[in-house]
A and B are shown apart, each in its own frame.
Chain A
Amino acid sequence: MSLKAFHLVFVTAAIVLAFGFGVWLLKGYASPGGSAWDLVFGLVSFAAGVALIFYERYFLKKTKNVSYL
């Protein structure tokens, strides 16, 4: 597996983490002690996940001539 392939695996894991962290923060917001910051950072985390998806597409385009092996 080349660095390109491993990078795609890593970014995919980071995307899952970003969405998971967003859910964790929103759950914190919905709980009795939740603050507005939980909502703000939860939304920022979702936005980061979306940004990483676009980055992954950009990276795939940029390295289309590089082997996965």
Chain B
Amino acid sequence: MSLFDKYNQVNARHDRLVAAGRDPFNVCMDRIVSATEAIVDGREVILVGTNNYLGLTFDPDCIESTVEAIRREGTGTTGSRIANGTYASHRALEQEIAAFLGRRSAMVFPTGYQANLGVIAGLAGPKDIILLDSDSHASIYDGCRLSGATLIRFRHNSPADLDKRLERLKDDSSSKLVIVEGIYSMLGDQAPLDEFVDVKRRHPSVELLVDEAHSLGVFGDNGRGIAEAYGVEKDVDYVVGTFSKSLGAVGGFGASDNPEFEQLRFTSRPYMFTASSSPSSVATAMATLSKIKSQPQLRKQLWENARALYKGLSDLGFPICAAASPIIAVKLPSEEAAVFMWNALFSAGVYVNLALPPGTPDGSCLLRCSLSAAHTPAQVQRVCEVFDQAYRAMKVWRDTQSAAE
């Protein structure tokens, strides 16, 4: 009996996946050329699965200020903020995020994953109840588990289901936290946040946390996310976000108007017992945040690209899981078809994300694209052409397979 025996099934599935071509979950980019291109095995690949929404990873100003920060503050902080101290740049970034979001305070975490762990497990404890959307990201589920709270799932994007469950809990005096995401990472569908806020208002003691990981910098007139887009920021008690998407760095944050939020600095284990963000991550997030504010045209360009790819793939007849957004998930009829097409796309120089159950809603097999403001119209057009070719190749392969059976 080995410790790894429990992975036999998943390992066998992984072997089958790899046997069909390249390992979709372990692609090594030999060289990153730009926000939208890399070299893999000596060939150029268009990147359409990076979540690099604003394309800021190669912005010259952001690179310069990051390099300068490394020279000034060093390569790493070598410890946690509670034991080794906070750098002035950590504090400056927290103030900048709070000011950007119009919140009283913000806390920075080393990754977006840890931001959810730290905020959720900091806010909720074993005597509290968390109601979470059933399609929540793994970091939300993990944060919920770490909290020890009673976890109740409501149907994905269903304010009515949440309302029903809160009604059933109306005589329960436990504190209640509702968690939703602004835009869901796999399908790209938006939370109907105005309707969730209506439900929250009907249950006055309930607090609301919104994860804006994929919506920050993407939605809202100022890029503050879905809550800004719906005009309901005052009804959102806690915001969680990440630096590793539109902000082009690594890290995450939590923000709130609640004066007690700062208590998480000495109560939330994922905040207390991890190394603090590196000077380079902090400097990049600071610089890219300023770009989000000063260059709204990046958001406009992103949406133009998103609509162009959505239209291109729709016109080719591909079923897309949600309305046009910077996340465009194409649904395939089976795992085999999705894996074949992913390999065909990659071989033709287009990298998208392959997403399979159980990591996807409703057992869907998806080819997930994420757009960037840095994509050119020619790249978007090329992606559509390659999707069309790959689909034709997949159909021929499928017909050969069924003829052989």
Q: Do A and B come from one complex?
A: no
